[in-house]
Structure 1
């Protein structure tokens, strides 16, 4: 689409969108002539604006009130005309100082969503890892009652999980110590997902050749890890920042739809999964969000990585009239800093 526009049209589109993003008001031909630095008449600008309107890039909300960019026009601007600014040194310092590698994965993800919201004054989202990014340091079985056993799972991100499992037979303390020793030979240093799937499958395949102690250890390990589910969820912060969208009846309806989407989660998770699969930074504008709840918003996303693999995605959600030149670099560097913190050795 961009190649079909003349240099003058490109210039006017850029100036119009930048002015609209800043002030939120339609821009007239006279104003465009004044701020575009083009040596053309208002009539020429009106002709160019008419062509842009025919292509669906701008619209006239009211007769003789000037024009505003459509979502398609904002997409053209973001893809072809946007000039990304360097982050303010204060924001850079705030970002780089916020990531403590000694925090647990959960703490890092929660603080990242809050940080995104605080810096952008919009909604910060961080999708939980599609795969667990933590490894097992230790697994221990401890007796509670005759057939109730406490499973203590220590992970390498400083997280300790306690789970209670029920056994059909009673285990003596010495048997549980022996099971602990056996299981840790197999599981220590492995990712949770790998431990639950690959290693336990291998152990089951060899089960017939194992003695009864090993078989009992496998059964306890299976129960202890079976409660570990991949979190299909996200951390959200700053949803109240969108209250400014509730201008007029239409704005209030949009706000209700957004809050409902956040509460229901499925559509938002689907969008974040789409961003993760696409790899790299992604920007969804209006209807591109593919959900009624967010079709009045723009969503800027970037994946975060663990051991070279994209395992989750973070995002900023705000009005389509957002400062993309400021939001995009914030999301980009935050994703890099989160990845770095997750990959730091203990």
Structure 2
């Protein structure tokens, strides 16, 4: 019998049995033997024939034997093939968009909406939900205020969309008095009220390129302070909210002390997850990272299903679900997709 190599297409029989094995492993979380797979597949095949196909799948890298078990489990490659070629995603009919929209509550500000969305994802999937905060370019500026702190540090208070408030501490190259900051605040509020952060940034660049000799002291101070406030690439603008991390402890493959420590340390650092989510910002539709595809050892055995959320074709951020590689992809994918659309709609309403 000719063995299947990693680059050869899988036969129809091999695909059918791989689908059955993946479904069984997702449901039970246990290695699947040839006898159990024969019953699961419902095909008129002998156990010997099934063992031969399983041997081909193992040689091609789609399944593997954990430790000394007689059964087999899907590899990351097996799950990737399953998701890309064999998965039948459930329709959204089982989801009630109106009920989910109420749970998001469009009357809240952006921060509360993001928090609600992460809890909604976690509650619906019983996994961990993660949502990045909307990009700082989002929203129209209504008011800007500054308060002096100490050691050339200033507290900035920016009101967006009438009621959303963002606070940030910025550092300047000199000390500013309360009177100077009030003048700067009045100037910037009058100059940029009603404009988006990206418009403000462009306006600042234009002002900085203007003839310095024709700029008065107030304008110079305002531009220096505002440029620090609205500069791109701020570390604190790239953040996310996570809910339901402890749900992952219920899965045997993630429940060891060593694995939990590794995973929760990655959650705490945030950098690795943010890097993964950033890779999804320019992608269309639902994106899925399976196990080692993430490039981070902490996420071995873990999958991330994501989608961007947006308003008026402007991508604001990414949301998704983190769970074991044997998660129910057919159920999780539509939940992520619907939640992303609802969050974008809620933020548009709030805006």
Q: Normalised by the shorter chain, which TM-score bucket?
A: 0.7 to 0.9
Look up the match of 1:95.
100
Residues 1-346 of structure 1 mapped to structure 2, 5 A cutoff: 4-61=9-66, 65-87=70-92, 89=94, 92-140=97-145, 152-156=157-161, 158-161=163-166, 168=175, 176=182, 182-195=187-200, 197-206=201-210, 207-219=212-224, 221-222=226-227, 225=230, 229=234, 231-245=237-251, 251-344=256-349, 346=351
> C-alpha separation between the residues in 2 aligned to 1:215 and 1:25?
67
3-state DSSP class of the match of 2:280? Answer: helix
Residue segments in structure 2 that go unaligned for 5+ positions in a row: 1-5
TM-score, scaled relative to structure 2: 0.84
- Give the 3 Å change call, closer, same or farther, for CA 51–220 of structure 1 in structure 2: closer
Q: Is the CA contact 2:107–2:350 (under 8 Å) kept in the aligned structure 1?
A: no
- Give the 3 Å change call, closer, same or farther, for CA 210–8 of structure 1 in structure 2: same
> C-alpha separation between the residues in 2 aligned to 1:37 and 1:123?
34
3-state DSSP class of the match of 2:303? Answer: strand
More displaced 10-residue stretch of structure 1: 304-313 or 49-58:
304-313
> C-alpha separation between the residues in 2 aligned to 1:84 and 1:142?
53
> C-alpha separation between the residues in 2 aligned to 1:164 and 1:59?
52
Look up the match of 2:3.
none
TM-score, scaled relative to structure 1: 0.85
1:224 CA drift (Å): 5.8
3-state DSSP class of the match of 2:317? Answer: strand
> C-alpha separation between the residues in 1 aligned to 2:81 and 2:36?
21
Equivalent residues, number: 341
> C-alpha separation between the residues in 2 aligned to 1:319 and 1:201?
46
1:82 CA drift (Å): 0.8
Q: Is the CA contact 1:33–1:45 (under 8 Å) kept in the aligned structure 2?
A: yes
Residue-by-residue CA offset, 1:63-87 (whole Å, 9 max, x unaligned): 6733221221111111111111124
1:100 CA drift (Å): 2.9
> C-alpha separation between the residues in 2 aligned to 1:30 and 1:141?
71
3-state DSSP class of the match of 2:43? Answer: coil
> C-alpha separation between the residues in 2 aligned to 1:64 and 1:153?
60
- Give the 3 Å change call, closer, same or farther, for CA 64–317 of structure 1 in structure 2: closer
> C-alpha separation between the residues in 2 aligned to 1:189 and 1:34?
65
> C-alpha separation between the residues in 2 aligned to 1:78 and 1:227?
37
- Give the 3 Å change call, closer, same or farther, for CA 138–8 of structure 1 in structure 2: same
Residue-by-residue CA offset, 1:168-194 (whole Å, 9 max, x unaligned): 565759x946x5554334312222244
> C-alpha separation between the residues in 2 aligned to 1:266 and 1:142?
31
Residue-by-residue CA offset, 1:250-289 (whole Å, 9 max, x unaligned): 8321111100101111111111112224443111111112
> C-alpha separation between the residues in 2 aligned to 1:226 and 1:10?
52
Residue segments in structure 1 that go unaligned for 5+ positions in a row: none
More displaced 10-residue stretch of structure 1: 288-297 or 214-223:
214-223
